[in-house]
Structure formats: C-alpha cells, structure tokens
Amino acid sequence: MLLEVTGLKKYYPLTQGFLYSRKIGEVKAVDDISFNIREGETLGLVGESGCGKSTLGRTVMRLEELTSGKIMFDGIDISSLNNKNRNWLRKEMQMIFQDPHSSLDPRMTVGDSIGEALVIHGIEGKNRVSELLEKVGLPSDFAFRYPHELSGGQKQRIGIARALAVRPRLIIADEPVSALDISVQAQILNLLMDLQKEYGLTYLFIAHNLSVVQHIADRVAVMYLGKIVEQGNSEEIFSNPLHPYTRALLSAVPGLKAKRLKLSGEVPSPINPPNGCRFHTRCPKKMKVCEETEPGITDEEHAVACHLFTNGACGSELK
C-alpha cells in the first residue's frame, strides 16, 4: 500500500469568550476514518459539500494537524512529522486545488509559478518548465503568460504542471474539475489519467460529482458527515450500491440506472451529529436501532456501515 490511513480524526475546537479561550464544543470534521490506496490506483472520495472530504485531503497531505489516528505513507508514519520532514513529504505528495485561479499568483508568469516549486525543492529545472508545459498539453511559450491571460482549463493544466514539477508519487486532487465547463472537464480528466499511466501516479480524487468519479476512480469511498459509509471497487459501488446514502446519491445522477431513493431534510451539523447512525435523520430505511446504535463498517472488500447489512442482516429491505 502506498497510503494507509487508520482511525483518522480531525476535530476543530469551538471557542467563546475573551480571546476565544473558553472551549464550548468541537466540530468533528473527520471522525474515525480508515482507508488505503495502492500504488498506481485512484481512490475517488465522494460526498455532499461539507461532509469533511476536503479536510480529510488536507489532513492526509499534512497541511492540517490531525487530532488522532495514523497516516502511513509507503510504510513511513507521517502522522507527526516535523517541518523539515514535511518538506520531504511535499516532494512525495502534491495537491491540485478546485479553483485553479486562486492557486496561481497573479503577479507571476506561468514559467515562474512552475519554476518556484522546482526552486523550493532544489530540483534542476533548465528545461523542466517547457517539458512540464508540454506534458499538460500547452505550448512552451505559455511560460511567459500571466494567469489572467489563461482560460479556466488552461489554469488547471498549469496547476497540474506545478503539482508534477517535483515528481510526486501521490496527488490529492480536491474537486479539480468542478470549477470548469463540462466540455473542459473531460479533457482534464483524460489528461490526469494519461499522466497517471505515464508516471505511475497514485490519486486521491475528491469530488461531489459521482459521474466524474466513475470516469476516473478504481475504487470509491463515500463520505457522510465525517464518516466513510461505504467503500469498494468502482464497478461494484456503481452497479450494486448498498448504503441508502450511496443509493440516494447515485439515483440523483442523470443517466445512471439507479432505483430512485429520495432524501429528506438537511445535512445535520458536524458540531452535534445525530446519535446512532449519523444518516438516520434523512434515511428512508431507518429502523429503531439506527437512532441508538452507530453501525460499524463491515470488514469486506465492498464495505458498508449500515444496520441493514450487519448483524446477519442482508439488506433485503433495500431491494
């Protein structure tokens, strides 16, 4: 495994009073999450906005301190790295952001932006900028352009070139196509897949759009209110979704033949998540036990956290 995450928690304290010194609660953005990614594969992480998936990505990248849990990267525990070792990690792991515009400095040319990453990491970069531009499908004279002269798709290609500059092994792509026009989304996804093949890259691909994830992911993890509620290989998840939340998400995707499952209510606050199954306030299949006992995730290749599939039940109520 290239990445192994075990029992990861990321809580933010809620404070009040003079200098915000009194803790009055916490936001459980990521709450006891475990998953792994094999070298060269893509794990798609999906869920509605606010479910904690971006926080999870930033915590794995070590841009955020974790509250507890363990993150292993290629057999090395990176849960408590100091600043010096985080520099090493930046060469191994890079991030592609949702908004390509805000991730580029408007005062820097494209060449300087890409070159900056090379300088920070002490990488010889004589012809590297033009090489990277070519790899992301842009002519080398783009090195002299400024971000305001580029389209959204071109900016995201620059974001990808910057991420590739240090030759990382793992890329965390946080909604990398959601700010782009539909016609450009497919081009960027195909570019990411081509680069993966060429460089043997591993992706944690975060998205709220399931059709995008279906296009690129080998395996999928579905997140709801800080928890993974279902994970498995992509084909299984899309052809045989088990968790009512996954089914509801899939049934909302045009073109996918999933039985309609309508959600009611709003996503509860992560400050005070519901007892028992966190999804019970919106679940059309809710049972008495769901309000009292939190379902654990099953220990299968296609894993699900739902009482319909634990304790010997088989989910027949869902069919």
The residue among 86 and 286 lying less far from ligand SF4, judged by its C-beta, is: 286
Stretch of 41-49, 101-109, 175-183, 278-286 lying at the interface with ligand SF4 (CB under 6 A): 278-286
Minimum Å distance from CB 51 to ligand SF4?
Answer: 14
Q: Name the token pair of 167.
A: 């030759």
Q: Site mask, ligand SF4, residues 282-301, x = CB under 6 A?
A: -x-xxx--x----x------
Q: What's the rounded Cα separation, in Å, for the pair 247 and 243?
A: 6
- Backbone torsions φ then ψ of 233, nearest 5 degrees: -75, 150
Is residue 224 at the binding interface for ligand SF4, with CB under 6 A as the rule? no
Stretch of 58-66, 114-122, 155-163, 305-313 lying at the interface with ligand SF4 (CB under 6 A): 305-313
Is residue 28 at the binding interface for ligand SF4, with CB under 6 A as the rule? no
DSSP string, the chain: --EEEEEEEEEEEEEESGGG-EEEEEEEEEEEEEEEE-TT-EEEEE--TTSSHHHHHHHHTTSS--SEEEEEETTEE-TT--HHHHHHHHHHEEEE-S-TTTTS-TTS-HHHHHHHHHHHTT---TTHHHHHHHHTT--GGGGG--GGGS-HHHHHHHHHHHHHTT--SEEEEESTTTTS-HHHHHHHHHHHHHHHHHHT-EEEEEES-HHHHHHH-SEEEEEETTEEEEEEEHHHHHHS--SHHHHHHHHTSTT---------SPPPPTTSPPSSSTTTTT-TT--HHHHHSPPPPPSSSSEE--GGGSTT---GGG-
Minimum Å distance from CB 307 to ligand SF4?
Answer: 4
Count CA within 13 A, CB hemisphere, residue 114: 33
Minimum Å distance from CB 298 to ligand SF4?
Answer: 12
Q: Count the residues of the shown chain that bind ligand SF4, applying the rule CB under 6 A.
A: 14
Minimum Å distance from CB 311 to ligand SF4?
Answer: 11
C-alpha closest to that of 300 among 316, 288, 286, 314:
314
Give the number of residues written for the chain.
319
Minimum Å distance from CB 308 to ligand SF4?
Answer: 5
The residue among 42 and 246 lying less far from ligand SF4, judged by its C-beta, is: 246
Minimum Å distance from CB 207 to ligand SF4?
Answer: 22
Is residue 308 at the binding interface for ligand SF4, with CB under 6 A as the rule? yes
Is residue 277 at the binding interface for ligand SF4, with CB under 6 A as the rule? yes
Minimum Å distance from CB 229 to ligand SF4?
Answer: 7
Is residue 96 at the binding interface for ligand SF4, with CB under 6 A as the rule? no
Residue type at 164 in one-letter notation: L
Minimum Å distance from CB 230 to ligand SF4?
Answer: 10
Query: Of 60, 95, 217, 306, which one interacts with ligand SF4 (CB under 6 A)?
Result: 306
Is residue 307 at the binding interface for ligand SF4, with CB under 6 A as the rule? yes
The residue among 53 and 247 lying less far from ligand SF4, judged by its C-beta, is: 247
Sign of the CA dihedral 253, 255, 257, 262? positive
Stretch of 44-52, 70-78, 132-140, 275-283 lying at the interface with ligand SF4 (CB under 6 A): 275-283
Residues 239-268 that bind ligand SF4 (CB under 6 A): 243-244
Is residue 227 at the binding interface for ligand SF4, with CB under 6 A as the rule? no
Q: Which residues would be at the binding site for ligand SF4 (CB under 6 A)?
A: 243-244, 277, 279-280, 283, 285-287, 290, 295, 306-308
